[in-house]
């Protein structure tokens, strides 16, 4: 399973692992993406940033084939995702890991069984081997001792680490992280940042992270894409992004309340609004 | 995991359900034979069937031997044509007679068969010639009253 | 306010609700059509079905036992009270058994099941959706229809007929106890009248067929509402209520239709 990914990772001309070309997508009549272009190189940590509602999670759903774009092409490991049959899509997803913001652990299974879940579903490994693998994955995220706890007994940070162990259970080509830094205390956040980087490098995986946390994104990313108004407004390495003079990018990176992205929701003149009291 | 206990409980649950079904089948109800292989049908015409209904029992000497399958009116003769379904293991002579009786004074009505003396037996699709209609209680009473009035 | 505009608005709202209801029915039908191909595959992991049977069937068992016994006892008291006026108390067993096998067993079991297990099924699946567990499974290349929905659907479908038979049997035993111990009837007459009048092929099997249909419909509604729920706490609680309401109405409506067919003669 992992071998093909390794070959690609060490390929001479470094084919991109994910390419998103001219993708348009709308939901309930509202356009979320148009002309979206994005490339993820193998072995690297790519961060996609954007404000709330910029469609970051939608992007991951499109790459994972849970949503189908209105137009354009999404290639993952050479396969055109929207054109795959359900069977082919499931085969592809076995080589993808995904970490949900809510961790999405199965609440009726304990930590051990959650990590074993993909192995039991997709392999016929003997119980002893599954045990070794599960303990290894849990050791990687530092939660081998918590294996008999149930998801309800875990803190947010622990749950996310268990979900991470589960996401890498089948040694995927790539892991997608949906807002991995949100809602964590500083220590848990530091742990997750370090884990993502270490796992990416140690296991030769590719990581794609969507987030709005600028500092963490810059500390971990090899490449950054900034989404705005349904398309990529800027991309580059963290250093390039921070040096940029583009006002909208600067506003986002520095977290300024007002700028090209206006503080005020579009409205008519304030004074006129006040004077027309009673006719609201 | 508590799998063993779960399996045992579910097993017991299914056994309880099947036991209940067995009890309903053996203790609560009777099987009445619906299979075509085990029954044959004969018809009988009656002048009046009273309140006889389909699925009413057919008896001979008080023993249940079949049921009423179907009731219709012959559009020419204006007599009621009653189709009876009888168990194959009971054969009746061709000159047997059928009567509609009432269980008790107000009970349900049923068909009772009285065997004749013929050596030949009723076959599937055969017809019982000799019949006796239902006794309608109200008619009997009113006849009785009129007779009395006539005498008096 | 213009009264005509008010009426127009009400009619419009009614029309929208009717349309939404029809759309829901359409979604439910498409859902079962998607579910059916997964149903066979679910038996490859019968353990999941056994687990769900435990959750739904075994946990409803006690309610069914208690309700069945009480319904039987009430039927015996009420039936006796009426029959004794016509000096027909010997038919008490028949009356109780017919009422239970044909109607009350299947219908009351179905209603109790919808309230106890159907709503729980919806809530569980809805919460799994709200906490992204279903989406997580999909991303792990595990089909939630096969892994989550199909075993629960099977368990519900199997449990209802079994529970209905248990309800009926317990009800008859309850009635027998009251008839003999409280009302002083003869036990032998109670059973023999019942046996003479209750037909296994018509009454018992008829009731069984009803409960199989009810089991299918309740399980269908319960898993559909859970799967279709808005992934918020409010959405899940609304879906749970809808499961109880729709499956109760469906059970009663279907019961009427099936009874009409059965009484016309099988």
Q: What is the pLDDT, as a whole number, of residue B8?
A: 86
CB C56 within 8 A of CB C117: yes
Q: Is A212 on the interface with C (CB under 8 A)?
A: no
Does A66 contact C135 at a Cβ distance shorter than 8 Å? yes
pLDDT at B57 over 50: yes
Per-residue pLDDT of A31-88, as tens digits, reads 888 888 999 999 999 999 887 777 888 899 999 998 999 999 999 988 899 999 988 9
Q: Give the position of tokens 């997750």.
A: A192
Summarize the confidence of residues A105-123 as an average pLDDT.
Answer: 92
Q: Is B25 on the interface with C (CB under 8 A)?
A: yes
Q: Please give the C-alpha separations between residue C152 and each of C40, C124, C128, C145, C166, in angstroms, as whole numbers.
A: 13, 10, 13, 10, 21
A143 or A277, higher pLDDT: A143
pLDDT at C163 over 90: yes
> Per-residue confidence at C75, pLDDT binned at 50, 70, 90?
very high
pLDDT at A254 over 70: yes
Q: Which of C61, C159, C200 sits opposite B31 (nearest CB)?
A: C200
Q: What is the pLDDT, as a whole number, of residue A13?
A: 52
Q: What is the pLDDT, as a whole number, of residue C201?
A: 80
Q: How many angstroms away from the CA of C139 is the closest CA of chain A?
A: 6
Chain C residues with CB within 8 Å of chain B CB? 47, 50-51, 53-54, 57-58, 61, 97, 101, 159, 161-163, 165-166, 168-170, 172, 191, 194-196, 198-204, 208, 265
> Per-residue confidence at A245, pLDDT binned at 50, 70, 90?
confident
DSSP letters along A1-57, please?
-HHHHHHHHT-SS---SEEEEEEEEEETTEEEEEEEEEEE-TTSEEEEEE-TTSSHH
Give the single-character DSSP code of A264.
Answer: S
Q: Which of C163, C198, C202 sits opposite B28 (nearest CB)?
A: C198
A104 or A9, higher pLDDT: A104
With contacts defined as CB-CB under 8 Å, which chain A residues touch C137?
106
Q: What is the pLDDT, as a whole number, of residue A5?
A: 42
Does C131 contact A121 at a Cβ distance shorter than 8 Å? no
Among positive and negative, which fits the CA dihedral C41, C47, C53, C56? negative
Per-residue pLDDT of C170-217, as tens digits, reads 999 999 999 999 999 888 888 888 887 888 888 899 999 999 999 999
Does C201 contact B27 at a Cβ distance shorter than 8 Å? no
pLDDT at A3 over 60: no
Looking at the predicted complex, does its ipTM rise above 0.85?
no
CB A99 within 8 A of CB A163: yes
Highest averaged pLDDT of the listed ranges C1-15, C79-93, C164-178? C164-178
Best B7, B16, B18, B85 member to test C by mutation, with max C CBs in 10 Å, is B16
Using CB atoms, which chains have 3+ pairs under 8 A with B?
C
With contacts defined as CB-CB under 8 Å, which chain C residues touch A94?
140-141
Summarize the confidence of residues B60-67 as an average pLDDT.
Answer: 86
Summarize the confidence of residues A3-23 as an average pLDDT.
Answer: 65
Summarize the confidence of residues A93-108 as an average pLDDT.
Answer: 90
Starting at the edge strand found earlier in the chain, the sheet holding A30-40 runs: A30-40, A18-27, A71-76, A79-80
With contacts defined as CB-CB under 8 Å, which chain A residues touch C138?
66, 93
Best A106, A151, A208 member to test C by mutation, with max C CBs in 10 Å, is A106
Q: What is the pLDDT, as a whole number, of residue C213?
A: 97
Count of CB pairs separated by less than 8 Å, A with C: 52
Q: Is A107 on the interface with C (CB under 8 A)?
A: yes
> Per-residue confidence at B105, pLDDT binned at 50, 70, 90?
low
Does C162 contact B18 at a Cβ distance shorter than 8 Å? yes
Q: What is the pLDDT, as a whole number, of residue A2?
A: 41
Q: Which of C127, C136, C141 sits opposite A90 (nearest CB)?
A: C141
Mean pLDDT computed over every residue of chain C:
91
Instruction: Give, rounded to a whole angstrom, the gap between the first and last alpha carbons of chain B.
Output: 94
Q: Which of B9, B14, B28 sits opposite C195 (nearest CB)?
A: B28
B134 or C156, higher pLDDT: C156
Q: What is the pLDDT, as a whole number, of residue A279?
A: 58
A266 or C186, higher pLDDT: C186
Q: How many angstroms away from the CA of C41 is the closest CA of chain A?
A: 13
Summarize the confidence of residues A92-121 as an average pLDDT.
Answer: 91
Per-residue pLDDT of A140-154, as tens digits, reads 899 999 999 999 999
Domains of chain A in sequence order: 2-256 (3.40.50.300)
Q: What is the pLDDT, as a whole number, of residue B144?
A: 82
Q: What is the pLDDT, as a whole number, of residue B104?
A: 66
A256 Cβ contact partners less than 8 Å away, ≥ 6 residues apart: A250
> Per-residue confidence at C249, pLDDT binned at 50, 70, 90?
very high
Q: Which residues pair with B59 in a beta bridge?
A: B64, B112
> Per-residue confidence at A19, pLDDT binned at 50, 70, 90?
very high
Q: How many angstroms away from the CA of B5 is the closest CA of chain C?
A: 10
Per-residue pLDDT of A157-168, as tens digits, reads 899 999 999 999
> Per-residue confidence at C265, pLDDT binned at 50, 70, 90?
low
A209 or B109, higher pLDDT: A209
Using CB atoms, which chains have 3+ pairs under 8 A with A?
C
> Per-residue confidence at A6, pLDDT binned at 50, 70, 90?
very low
Give CA–CA dist C199/C205, Å, rounded: 9
> Per-residue confidence at A204, pLDDT binned at 50, 70, 90?
confident
Does A90 contact C143 at a Cβ distance shorter than 8 Å? yes
Among positive and negative, which fits the CA dihedral A113, A114, A117, A118? negative
Distance of CA C217 to the CA centre of its chain: 8
pLDDT at B152 over 80: no
Does A91 contact C133 at a Cβ distance shorter than 8 Å? no
> Per-residue confidence at C57, pLDDT binned at 50, 70, 90?
confident
Mean pLDDT computed over every residue of chain A:
86
> Per-residue confidence at C89, pLDDT binned at 50, 70, 90?
confident
Best A98, A115, A156, A169 member to test C by mutation, with max C CBs in 10 Å, is A98
Regarding beta strands A45-50 and A206-211, do their DSSP bridges make them parallel or antiparallel, or are they unpaired?
A: parallel
Tabulate helix, strand, coil % of chain A (nearest 5).
40, 20, 35
**Of C42, C84, C34, which Cα lies nearest the Cα of C184?**
C84
Does C54 contact B23 at a Cβ distance shorter than 8 Å? no
């Amino acid at each position: 399973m992992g071998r093909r990914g390794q070959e690609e990772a060490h390929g001479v001309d470094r084919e991109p692992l994910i390419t998103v070309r001219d993708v348009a997508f709308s939901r309930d009549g509202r356009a979320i993406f148009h002309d979206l272009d994005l490339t993820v190189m193998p072995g690297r940590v790519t961060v996609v940033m954007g404000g709330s509602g910029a469609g970051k999670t939608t992007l991951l759903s499109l790459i994972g084939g849970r949503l189908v774009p209105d137009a354009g092409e999404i290639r993952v490991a050479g396969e055109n995702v929207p054109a795959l049959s359900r069977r082919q899509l499931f085969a592809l997803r076995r080589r993808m890991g995904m970490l949900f913001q809510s961790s999405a652990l199965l609440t009726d299974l304990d930590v051990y069984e959650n990590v074993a879940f993909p192995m039991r579903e997709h392999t016929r490994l003997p119980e002893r081997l599954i045990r070794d693998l599960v303990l290894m994955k849990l050791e990687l995220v530092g939660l081998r001792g918590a294996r008999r706890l149930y998801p309800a007994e875990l803190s947010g940070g622990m749950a996310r680490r268990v979900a991470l162990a589960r996401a890498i259970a089948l040694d995927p080509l790539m892991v997608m992280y949906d807002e991995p830094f949100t809602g964590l205390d500083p220590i848990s956040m530091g742990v997750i940042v370090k884990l993502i980087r270490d796992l990416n490098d140690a296991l030769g995986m590719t990581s794609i992270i969507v987030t709005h946390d600028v500092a963490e994104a810059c500390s971990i990313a090899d490449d950054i894409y900034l989404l705005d108004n349904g398309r990529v407004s800027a991309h580059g390495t963290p250093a390039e992004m921070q040096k940029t003079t583009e006002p909208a990018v600067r506003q986002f990176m520095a977290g300024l309340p007002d700028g090209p992205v206006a503080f005020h929701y579009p409205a008519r003149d304030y004074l006129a609004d006040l004077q027309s009291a009673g006719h609201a | 995991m508590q799998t063993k206990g779960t399996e045992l409980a579910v097993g017991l649950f299914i056994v309880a359900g099947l036991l209940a079904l067995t009890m309903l089948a053996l203790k609560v109800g009777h099987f009445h034979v619906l299979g075509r292989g085990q029954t044959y049908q004969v018809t009988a015409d009656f002048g009046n069937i009273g309140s006889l209904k389909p699925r009413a029992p057919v008896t001979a000497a008080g023993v249940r031997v079949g049921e009423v399958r179907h009731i219709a009116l012959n559009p020419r003769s204006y007599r009621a044509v009653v189709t009876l379904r009888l168990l194959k293991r009971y054969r009746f002579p061709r000159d047997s007679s059928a009567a509609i009786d009432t269980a008790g004074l107000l009970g349900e009505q049923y068909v009772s068969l009285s065997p004749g003396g013929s050596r030949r037996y009723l076959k599937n699709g055969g017809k019982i010639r000799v019949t006796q209609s239902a006794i309608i209680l109200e008619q009997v009473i009113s006849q009785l009253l009129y007779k009395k009035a006539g005498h008096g | 306010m213009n009264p005509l505009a008010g009426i127009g608005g009400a009619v419009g709202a009614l029309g929208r609700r009717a349309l939404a209801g029809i759309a829901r029915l359409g979604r439910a039908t498409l859902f079962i059509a998607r579910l059916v191909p997964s149903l066979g595959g679910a038996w490859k992991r019968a353990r999941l079905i056994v687990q769900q049977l435990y959750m739904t069937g075994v946990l409803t068992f006690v309610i069914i036992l208690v309700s069945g016994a009480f319904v039987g006892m009430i039927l015996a008291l009420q039936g006796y009270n009426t029959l004794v006026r016509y000096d027909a108390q010997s038919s008490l067993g028949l009356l109780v058994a017919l009422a239970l096998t044909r109607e009350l067993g299947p219908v009351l079991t179905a209603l109790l099941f919808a309230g106890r297990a159907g709503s729980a099924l919806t809530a569980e699946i809805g919460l799994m959706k709200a906490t992204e567990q279903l989406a997580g499974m999909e991303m792990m290349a595990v089909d939630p229809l096969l892994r989550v929905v199909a075993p629960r659907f099977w368990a519900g479908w199997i449990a209802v007929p079994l529970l209905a038979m248990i309800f009926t049997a317990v009800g008859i035993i309850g009635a027998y106890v009251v008839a003999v111990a409280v009302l002083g009837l003869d036990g032998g007459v109670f059973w023999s009248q019942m046996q003479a009048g209750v037909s296994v092929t018509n009454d018992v099997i008829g009731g069984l067929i009803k409960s199989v249909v009810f089991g299918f419909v309740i399980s269908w509604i319960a898993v559909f509402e859970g799967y279709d729920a808005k992934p918020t706490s409010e959405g899940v609680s609304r879906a749970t209520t809808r499961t109880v309401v729709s499956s109760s109405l469906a059970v009663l409506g279907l019961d009427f239709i099936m009874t009409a067919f059965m009484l016309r003669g099988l």
